[in-house]
Amino acid sequence: MTSGDCTIPQDWGHYTPTDHRVWDHLFDRQTRLLPGRVAPEFLDGLQRLDLTRPGVPDFARLNDQLMRLTGWQVVAVPGLVPDAVFFDHLANRRFPAGNFIRRPDQLDYLQEPDVFHDVFGHVPLLAHPAFADYMQAYGRGGLRALAHDAIGRLARLYWYTVEFGLIRSGNGLAIYGAGIVSSHGETHFALESASPNRLGWRLERVLRTPYRIDDYQQCYFVINSFDELLDVTLQTDFAPLYARLAGLADIPINAINDDDIVFSRGDQQRG
């Protein structure tokens, strides 16, 4: 790693008893809620990575397991890092995780990703081979998108999969996006609220859909499987796609198009 990679030591010993209590509180609240709502691969990752131990995880320990399972590593960063740095980490199978944790009065909302969002939300699926490869493919795609001035468009893919993705699971829908999985309120909202649209995931559709960062989503996209997400991403030649999409209008955030597959919150596919 170079000195421009924005990493810092996690310094696990610096977490206070309050920090560990905040982790445990959020962890318990989410793990009570997730069974039956989250993709089984996520719960599997929590177990396999030994994340069920109390307290803020020690990255050194976590990395032993993660390296063994999929060759990924978690590195500590102080907060948001520049796009090029972020993509370079992902492209090299390193996930940058904020090393700070929110205060007890910030349990429900936080602007910058902290260690709970980053580790609880993102890391369990990095133990899953197809998702692990998808994240690396995204990082490589991000580095190429920098050259095409297309970061804003590719960021929509990250947003609607890695952060706020839904997946078909058994005969229902399940959450897998870290922004949902790490949020008590949005876990309920994404699956149970009547207000957002839940549409079948298609790469081009997602790249044409803006998103909002200041509220629960108005639109979620549903993948069939992590294998499909990986395959489509690997097989797509993004440069000509960016060129073609530049000539097409964005699709309003709350729109349903004729060719969209619409899922209802009762899980039945209507479209």
Stretch binding Fe ion (CB under 5 A), from 33-41, 50-58, 175-183, 261-269:
175-183
- Report, in Å, the least distance between residue 239 CB and ligand HBI: 18
86 binds, options ligand HBI, Fe ion, none, Cβ within 5 to 8 A by partner type: ligand HBI
The nearer residue to ligand HBI, 156 or 205, going by C-beta atoms, is 156
Q: Which is nearer to ligand HBI, 88 or 260 (CB)?
A: 88
The nearest distance, CB 165 to Fe ion, in angstroms, is: 11
Q: Answer with the entry of ligand HBI, Fe ion, none that 178 interacts with (C-beta below 5 to 8 A by kind).
A: Fe ion
Contact flag: residue 51 with Fe ion (CB under 5 A): no
Residues of this chain that bind ligand HBI (CB under 6 A): 77, 80-81, 83, 86, 96, 113, 155, 158
The least CB distance from residue 134 to ligand HBI, in Å, is: 14
Contact in structure between 34 and 190 (CB atoms under 8 Å) = no
Between 96 and 173, CB nearer to ligand HBI: 96
Question: Quick check: 178 binds Fe ion (CB under 5 A)?
Answer: yes
Q: SS3 sequence, the chain?
A: CCHHHCCECCCHHHCCHHHHHHHHHHHHHHHHHCCCCECHHHHHHHHHCCCCCCCCCCHHHHHHHHHHHHCCEEEEECCCCCHHHHHHHHHCCEEEEECCCCCHHHCCCCCCCCHHHHHHHHCHHHHCHHHHHHHHHHHHHHHHHHHCCCHHHHHHHHHHHHHCCEEEECCEEEECCHHHHCCHHHHHHHHHCCCCEEEECCHHHHHCCCCCCCCCCCEEEEECCHHHHHHHHHHCCHHHHHHHHCCCCCCCCCCCCCCCCEECCCCCECC
Nearest CB to ligand HBI, comparing residues 112 and 204: 112
| CB 149 to Fe ion: min, Å | 23
Binders of Fe ion among 88-147, rule CB under 5 A? 113
Tell me the C-alpha distance between 259 and 204, whole Å. 12
Q: Which does 23 bind (CB under 5 to 8 A by kind): Fe ion, ligand HBI, none?
A: none
- Smaller CB distance to Fe ion: residue 159 or 263? 159
- Binding region for Fe ion (CB under 5 A): 113, 178
